[in-house]
Amino acid sequence: MVKPSSYFESSDRRQAEFDTDFLVIQDLVKAYPNNEGGQTVILDGINLTVGPNEFIAIIGHSGCGKSTLLKIVGGLERATSGQVFLESQPIRKPGADRMMVFQQYSLLPWLTVRDNVRLAVDEVCHRLSLAQKKTLVEEHLAMVNLTAAATKYPDELSGGMKQRVGIARALAIRPKMLLMDEPFGALDALTRGRLQRQVLDIWERNPQAVMMITHDVDEAIYMADRIVMMTNGPNAQIGEILTVPFEHPRDRTALRESKDYYDLRNHALDFLDRYFEQAS
């Protein structure tokens, strides 16, 4: 097991492992016009490289700019200055290579579970035959255990099921990167735990780059390879990056019996407390 002191560093070791320039965020600044006729700088010089199969959690207090950062990577927002590259190509707009999963499920209520997934596949996978598209949809419904609910409408589903449709929809088009904005935030603790495990199972079978925003330190440690901790806004920056030294697949119970887990957890909570005190 890695000594605690080494995972509180700026994670150069881990960065080197992943350093294939998959996603590169360079000197990113985002400002919005404010009521005084000026600009409020939300994100002030973000630099981060994410590896092709790396699971990154982003943590920080409300309003520090986590969603804004994710939206810029998703191409839904433009940076004020700085650049974001995916496989050396600048990101300027949304693309099927980066799928987003939001806290509020954003399913189309008039379509069944199957058709919600099917619509995304139809929109993106033009080159596939009808039979291939059907297979892709069915495979991904099965992946999130929704085959039996395929003909149901979103209104007939629990929150956890809706989120599984959102995840199946995002994964079915085989994006290079999954961007998740508090994907488990609206779920009760039991469902959240189950869905975290299910997403990890899928990711362990088909590793890909993930950026996930969370408020939950335990969730971040359980799921992520690195935890990016942001300072408060405005002018938020990356305060620290923690490397999570536990191998995948992870066993939640075993993690909680480990001293390293608590050292990491306390370190992250201390960081958040420090910034919480500054904000209040």
Using CB under 6 A, list all residues that contact ligand ADP: 32, 42, 60, 62-68, 233
Of 39 and 53, which has the nearer Cβ to ligand ADP? 39
Of 11 and 68, which has the nearer Cβ to ligand ADP? 68
**Dihedral of CA 188/241/94/210: which sign?**
negative
Of 67 and 163, which has the nearer Cβ to ligand ADP? 67
Q: How far is the CB of 235 from ligand ADP (least distance, A)?
A: 11
| Residue 62: how many other CB atoms lie within 10 Å | 10
Cα distance between residue 250 and residue 260, in whole Å: 14
Name which of 49, 63, 72, 61 is nearest 226 in CA terms: 49
Q: How far is the CB of 212 from ligand ADP (least distance, A)?
A: 12
Name which of 123, 119, 125, 171 is nearest 144 in CA terms: 171
Cα distance between residue 170 and residue 164, in whole Å: 10
Residue with tokens 């508090």: 182
Q: How far is the CB of 154 from ligand ADP (least distance, A)?
A: 25
Of 33 and 109, which has the nearer Cβ to ligand ADP? 33
**Dihedral of CA 270/50/194/96: which sign?**
positive
Q: How far is the CB of 181 from ligand ADP (least distance, A)?
A: 7
User: Tokens standing for 126?
Assistant: 């033009």
Of 14 and 61, which has the nearer Cβ to ligand ADP? 61
Q: How far is the CB of 71 from ligand ADP (least distance, A)?
A: 7
Q: Helices H, strands E: what count in the chain? A: 10, 10
